[in-house]
């Protein structure tokens, strides 16, 4: 569906590209042995290299190289066997060296693809321009003291993968789908935890607008360091509308860096980029070109797990799930693993319904991820077993499920404790049916007069009379036979 914004001068299309900074999962930093764990006391994970002490030389972390190659392969991207680290020179208080070691001209990963899963079940491709490695800066804290700013260098030197998309995104929904899919791929690969609230994944959003039908790209503005999917989607719409207002007022959008204020719902100018900064890039003289072999790349490729798109296709082709259901189930690695344990030996669609509809509702209500689900996959699978062997009906299963969510107990124990075993004895069911028929001669007459829809009402009365424990199939068959006699 097209995303078009109306302005005074006509309709406008939004063009978006994202630069995602993903912190590499590694126990130590890109060029030092300092720890990368989140949440430590300020300035406790800082080596002499991280603090840029004189004479300290960087030494590349091989784990970060492998993780970057894994990510490139997961993005179906070209892996460059030779890449070069450059110095990007600029001054900032939380950048001790006065430069950032990055990759500009020769990145480790070239062009790739991310496939978006859209809400209507369709898909489309977004191009990846490049992935390069770089070191993170420290963190400036301006809210600790009324007169001073503080610097925490724990993050300084941590390995980052900057993943740059092509300007193929056209709406806030596209941005949300892209970030969720990219985060899913990174988590499946185990190369970044994707925790945007901790800053281990954040993005710069490049936004421009153009009149509908115009092919040329117009001047873009970059919204820096957005730290949630929701905020990225909001930033796109707010910045796009700002640019449309500028054009409608006869002005011109300038190339600049802006910040998103989620409280005020606005973007604010941070610094002009109308004239390109002179970062004085040059190859880092302390680091040789990084050369890897095709055999090294092939070995990493052979170790890749089944990724979301492949798993989604398998669920659709082998299990018969819809594109929507399959997409929901594979979005998170833990959800897919949970589903597969539940679905083993059961109807795949039924298992999907219980996970997507019933379990997700419980998780949302309790505000917990699936890894902390009060109902284990084994217990939900056992609940499906109880329905399959007619121990309980589908209606009773929902009641048992609610008790499972509150107590964590196994379904069989709940059924026994509450006396919920399904009534399959035809004699007992017939007795209940006879009583309902005897008590409702008017409704019986309606049935005999041709109103067969009233059968459902009779079924409900029998189920109510048996506390919902009668086998619905047996009730339907016996009831119709007796009403027709």
Provide the pLDDT confidence category of residue 422 given band limits of 50, 70 and 90: low
- Evaluate if residue 258 carries a pLDDT over 90: yes
Q: Are 146 and 91 in a shared domain?
A: yes
* More confident site: 239 or 461: 239
Q: What is the mean pLDDT of residues 159-169?
A: 98
Provide the pLDDT confidence category of residue 341 given band limits of 50, 70 and 90: very high
Structure tokens at 219: 């001047």
Q: Domain boundary residue among 374, 399, 418?
A: 418
pLDDT score of 277: 64
Q: Which helix (H) or strand (E) holds 199?
A: none
| Spatial contact of 211 and 255, defined as CB atoms under 8 Å apart | no
Q: Are 167 and 296 in a shared domain?
A: yes
Domain count, the chain: 3
Residues above pLDDT 90, as percent of the chain: 75
User: C-alpha angle with apex 257: 253 to 262, nearest 5 degrees?
Assistant: 100
> How far does CA 28 lie from the centroid of its chain?
26
* More confident site: 411 or 419: 411
Q: Which helix (H) or strand (E) holds 228?
A: none
Q: Are 256 and 291 in a shared domain?
A: yes
Q: Domain boundary residue among 257, 274, 300?
A: 300
Q: Are 449 and 477 in a shared domain?
A: yes
Q: Are 432 and 413 in a shared domain?
A: no
User: C-alpha angle with apex 54: 48 to 57, nearest 5 degrees?
Assistant: 65
pLDDT score of 304: 97
Q: Domain boundary residue among 400, 418, 436?
A: 418
- Evaluate if residue 420 carries a pLDDT over 90: no
- Evaluate if residue 12 carries a pLDDT over 60: yes
Mean pLDDT of the chain: 91
- Evaluate if residue 150 carries a pLDDT over 90: yes
- Evaluate if residue 279 carries a pLDDT over 80: yes
Domain that holds residue 446: 426-484
Structure tokens at 246: 């500028």
Residue 134 φ/ψ, nearest 5 degrees: -160, 165
Lowest average pLDDT, out of 328-337, 410-419, 472-481, goes to: 472-481
Residues above pLDDT 70, as percent of the chain: 93
Q: Are 81 and 134 in a shared domain?
A: yes
pTM over 0.85: yes
Measured from the Cβ of residue 478, the count of other Cβ atoms closer than 10 Å reads 19
Measured from the Cβ of residue 98, the count of other Cβ atoms closer than 10 Å reads 11
Reported as a single tens digit per residue, the pLDDT across 356-398 is 999 999 999 999 999 999 999 999 999 999 999 888 888 889 9
Measured from the Cβ of residue 55, the count of other Cβ atoms closer than 10 Å reads 5
**Could you tell me the CATH number of the domain that includes residue 433?**
1.10.10.410
- Evaluate if residue 274 carries a pLDDT over 70: no
DSSP-assigned beta bridge partners for residue 292: none
CA-CA distances (angstroms) from residue 455 to 130, 325, 466, 473, 477? Answer: 64, 33, 17, 13, 11
Lowest average pLDDT, out of 110-119, 391-400, 416-425, goes to: 416-425
Q: Which residues of 133-145 are buried (b: 16+ CB within 10 A; e: fewer)?
A: bbbbbbeeeeeee
Measured from the Cβ of residue 40, the count of other Cβ atoms closer than 10 Å reads 13
Q: Are 374 and 451 in a shared domain?
A: no
Q: Are 282 and 387 in a shared domain?
A: no
pLDDT score of 355: 98
Q: What is the mean pLDDT of residues 308-312?
A: 97
Provide the pLDDT confidence category of residue 24 given band limits of 50, 70 and 90: very high
Q: Are 294 and 359 in a shared domain?
A: no
Q: What is the mean pLDDT of residues 224-252?
A: 96
Provide the pLDDT confidence category of residue 438 given band limits of 50, 70 and 90: confident
User: C-alpha angle with apex 220: 214 to 225, nearest 5 degrees?
Assistant: 140
Length of the chain: 485
CA-CA distances (angstroms) from residue 227 to 43, 194, 205? Answer: 22, 10, 11
Q: Are 343 and 466 in a shared domain?
A: no
Q: Are 393 and 245 in a shared domain?
A: no
Q: Are 189 and 277 in a shared domain?
A: yes
């Amino acid at each position: 569906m097209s995303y078009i914004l109306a302005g005074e001068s006509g309709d406008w299309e939004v063009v978006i590209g994202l630069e995602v900074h993903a912190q590499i999962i590694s126990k130590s930093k890109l060029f030092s042995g300092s720890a990368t764990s989140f949440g430590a006391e300020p300035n406790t994970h800082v080596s002499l290299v991280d603090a840029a002490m004189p004479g300290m030389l960087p030494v590349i972390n091989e784990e970060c190289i492998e993780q970057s190659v894994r990510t490139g392969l997961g993005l179906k991207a070209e892996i460059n066997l030779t890449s070069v680290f450059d110095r990007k020179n600029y001054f900032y208080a939380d950048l001790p060296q006065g430069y950032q070691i990055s990759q500009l001209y020769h990145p480790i990963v070239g062009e790739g693809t991310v496939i978006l899963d859209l809400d209507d079940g369709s898909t489309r491709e977004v191009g990846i321009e490049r992935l390069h490695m770089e070191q993170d800066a420290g963190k400036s804290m301006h809210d600790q003291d009324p007169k001073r700013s503080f610097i925490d260098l724990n993050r300084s030197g941590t390995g980052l993968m900057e993943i740059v998309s092509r300007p193929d995104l056209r709406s806030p929904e596209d941005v949300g789908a892209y970030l969720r899919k990219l985060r899913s791929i990174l988590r499946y690969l185990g190369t970044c935890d994707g925790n945007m609230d901790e800053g281990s994944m954040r993005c710069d959003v490049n936004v421009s607008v153009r009149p509908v039908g115009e092919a040329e790209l117009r001047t873009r503005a970059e919204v820096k360091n957005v730290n949630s999917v929701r905020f990225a989607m909001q930033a796109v719409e707010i910045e796009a509308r700002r640019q449309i207002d500028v054009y409608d007022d006869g002005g011109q959008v300038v190339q600049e860096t802006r910040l998103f204020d989620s409280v005020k719902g606005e973007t604010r100018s941070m610094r002009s980029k109308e004239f390109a900064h002179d970062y004085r890039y040059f190859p880092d003289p302390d680091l040789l070109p990084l050369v890897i072999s095709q055999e090294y790349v092939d070995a990493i490729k052979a170790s890749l797990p089944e990724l979301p798109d492949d798993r989604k296709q398998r669920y659709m082709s082998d299990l018969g799930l819809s594109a929507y259901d399959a997409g929901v189930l594979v979005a998170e690695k833990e959800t897919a693993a949970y589903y597969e344990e539940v679905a083993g030996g059961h109807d795949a669609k039924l298992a999907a319904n219980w996970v997507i509809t019933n379990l997700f509702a419980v998780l949302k209500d309790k505000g917990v991820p699936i890894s902390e689900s009060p109902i284990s996959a084994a217990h939900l699978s056992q609940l499906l077993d109880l329905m399959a062997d007619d121990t309980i009906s589908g209606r009773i299963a929902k009641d048992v499920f609610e008790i499972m969510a509150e107590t964590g107990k196994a379904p069989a124990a709940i059924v026994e404790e509450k006396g919920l075993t399904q009534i399959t004895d035809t004699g007992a069911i017939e007795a209940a049916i006879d009583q309902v028929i005897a008590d409702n001669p008017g409704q019986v007459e309606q049935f005999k007069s041709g109103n067969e829809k009233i059968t459902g009402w009779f079924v409900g009365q029998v189920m109510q009379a048996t506390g919902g424990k009668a086998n619905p199939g047996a009730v339907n068959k016996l009831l119709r036979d007796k009403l027709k006699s």
